[in-house]
Amino acid sequence: MADATSTKNTRSGTKNNRGPKAPPETSDGSHAKPNGAAAKNGAPAKNGAAAKNGAAATKAAAAAPAPVRQLFGTDGIRGTANEWPITPELALGLGKAVAHVAGRNTPKAHVPRILIGKDTRLSGYMIEQAIAAGICSMGARVILCGPIPTPAVAQLTVSMRADAGIVISASHNPYQDNGIKIFGADGFKLADAMEAEIEQLMSNDALLGLRPTGPGIGKASRLDDAGGRYVVFAKATFPRGLTLDGVRIVVDGAHGAAYKVAPLVFAELGANVTSIGVKPNGVNINKDAGALHPDKVRAEVVKQGAQIGIALDGDADRLIVIDEKGQIVDGDVVMAMCATRMLDDGQLAKRTLVATVMSNLGLERAMHSRGGTLVRTQVGDRYVVEAMRKHGYNLGGEQSGHLIFLEHASTGDGIVAALQVLAIMVRTGRPLSELAKEAMERVPQVLENVTLPKRQPLEKMKQLATATGKVKDALGQEGRVLIRWSGTEPKLRIMLEGPNEDRLRKWAKDLAAAAQKDARG
């Protein structure tokens, strides 16, 4: 699927309109206005011009206001399964819209092919079948991959020359939730403008044209070896000449999408693998397991005398690493380790690492001390990838464990990231705890999440603004304050960094209280 022009909405609604009854809130807390017509972005690009499309889209985004999206957030569409917007009705409409966009710039003889992968949630069956029905109704072909990691869908979309890939997953959320995200034919997540256009098509069937009948209706098939193909791909990112012979690893699959493939990748490279979190039942994904709940893998690492623990999340696009002492090594430290190695080997493009505003100040200082640069983006691995593609960088990620090695993968991949850490351990022969300690010195950081009755623009929260100003004045150049709305949950996120953790905690509570006062009016 390539970036394409937006289509004007020729009528306000139809009997199939699934748009919201009232404008929802955007990721920064402001209210989105009804989107009568999408911005015009020029002529559609053909498949195969991925790099040009990415550069053009970034340039256009800088020159024009961002398109208004009412359904898609920072990581696709997400919510409680079987409640709007994660309903089979919406999924049907999304399938039709994606098939329409995927097929309109291809030769008439070409039947668009769209992959669908999912995690292990019970609701995945419902959403999968609805999306597949929508795709087939537009005459396109569906390739069902079953439970596989999100990055596997991106990789298979490219390797199979498919026109798009769709992932059904709510990542780290509990099983009651689900989500939908889309990859283009180039394996990258869609640009905001494309997602806005898909929303328009979903809200107005008339824009999709006539549906095929008879032999023109699409068909679905299952790719039985989807997991095996991904295992082969992942292993190929581990340096040739190295093995994991004798390395003891504990892998926590979070009862999610990687429950089969993750243990296989490490075992086939020679590791002695202990697997936990690999018994999904549809309702236990992420439950007391995986990257969000690493206590079990920490204990198992110590119990087994393992050199490393690898905790994935529900769709395996991120990880938390555990050292041999059972200590957590988060995404910032992993990025520092990998960036340092790549700097020493002359492999870090433009000597630059890309991270988000949430990454610890210690990571920035570590890069500068080694003659490198840290570039920050807004929160969301998609924005890290956009910056990497625009400027030619090859390593980036988030503190939460989304790590992108662009020479290997087009999106965050927890398994590939783990293999890069293991390669450093094998080459140096040093324990992970030592490597992590050397990589960076963390600045005390405090995070506070506040759930409020409703979102509102931060600039209108006067009590919060006043309190924030006082904290910034007190910190000066020794720390940072970051306040933002979550892109996937109704929460205000407060982050403070500075030399004194006790003072940071007090200030975080003060800011949370100020936000609550604003919410009460």
Are 401 and 464 in the same domain? Answer: no
Residue 83's pLDDT band, with cuts at 50, 70 and 90, is very high
pLDDT for 66 equals 53
Does residue 516 register a pLDDT over 60?
A: yes
Q: Which amino acid is at 156?
A: L
pLDDT for 479 equals 94
Are 146 and 248 in the same domain? Answer: no
Does residue 88 register a pLDDT over 50?
A: yes
Show the domain range for 349.
Answer: 229-439
Terminal C-alpha separation, the chain: 46
* Angstrom distance (rounded) from CA 165 to CA 151: 10
Residues 28-50 as b or e (16 or more Cβ within 10 Å = b): ebbeeeebeebbebeeebebeeb
Are 69 and 198 in the same domain? Answer: yes
Q: What are phi and psi of 309, to 5 degrees?
A: -120, 140
pLDDT for 109 equals 82
* Angstrom distance (rounded) from CA 461 to CA 136: 47
pLDDT for 73 equals 87
DSSP classification of residue 31:
B
Active-site residue, from 171, 359, 400, 410: 171
pLDDT for 521 equals 81
CATH number at 84 reads 3.40.120.10
Nearest CA to 194 out of 392, 6, 435, 463 is that of 6
Give 255-304 pLDDT, tens digit per residue.
Answer: 999 999 999 999 999 999 999 999 999 999 999 999 999 999 999 999 99
Last-in-domain residue among 204, 224, 244: 224
pLDDT for 14 equals 33
Tally of CB atoms within 10 A around 361: 20
Last-in-domain residue among 224, 242, 267: 224
> Is residue 13 one of the residues assigned to a domain?
no
> Is residue 8 one of the residues assigned to a domain?
no
- CA separation, residue 466 to residues 126, 459, 462, 503, 511 (Å): 47, 11, 6, 18, 9
> Is residue 427 one of the residues assigned to a domain?
yes
* pLDDT-wise least confident of 41-45, 101-105, 373-377: 41-45
Are 138 and 254 in the same domain? Answer: no
3-state secondary structure 406-420: CCCCCCCCHHHHHHH
* Residues whose CB is less than 8 angstroms from the CB of residue 132 and which lie 6 or more positions away in sequence, other chains included: 95, 116, 142, 144, 220
Which comes out higher in pLDDT, residue 343 or 107? 343
Are 211 and 305 in the same domain? Answer: no
Structure tokens at 257: 């999408």
Residue 1's pLDDT band, with cuts at 50, 70 and 90, is low
> Is residue 28 one of the residues assigned to a domain?
no
- With beta carbons less than 8 A apart as the criterion, state whether 185 and 162 touch: yes
Last-in-domain residue among 439, 470, 494: 439
* Residues whose CB is less than 8 angstroms from the CB of residue 369 and which lie 6 or more positions away in sequence, other chains included: none
Does the active-site annotation cover 486?
Answer: no
Are 234 and 92 in the same domain? Answer: no
According to DSSP, the residues that pair with 310 across neighbouring strands are 251, 321
Are 278 and 360 in the same domain? Answer: yes
CATH number at 510 reads 3.30.310.50
Are 302 and 337 in the same domain? Answer: yes
Give 101-149 pLDDT, tens digit per residue.
Answer: 998 877 878 999 999 999 999 999 999 999 999 999 999 999 999 999 9
CA torsion angle 323 328 333 337 (round to 10)? 10
pLDDT for 39 equals 33
> Is residue 7 one of the residues assigned to a domain?
no
Count the domains in the chain.
3
* Residues whose CB is less than 8 angstroms from the CB of residue 443 and which lie 6 or more positions away in sequence, other chains included: 360, 361, 362, 365, 479, 497, 498, 499
> Is residue 430 one of the residues assigned to a domain?
yes
Q: Which amino acid is at 275?
A: S
Which comes out higher in pLDDT, residue 16 or 461? 461
Are 202 and 162 in the same domain? Answer: yes
Are 459 and 428 in the same domain? Answer: no
Does residue 317 register a pLDDT over 90?
A: yes
Does residue 28 register a pLDDT over 70?
A: no
pLDDT for 37 equals 33
DSSP classification of residue 380:
S
Angle (CA) 505-506-508 rounded to 5° is 65
Are 235 and 376 in the same domain? Answer: yes
> Is residue 485 one of the residues assigned to a domain?
yes
> Is residue 12 one of the residues assigned to a domain?
no
Are 297 and 394 in the same domain? Answer: yes
Q: What is the mean pLDDT of the chain?
A: 88
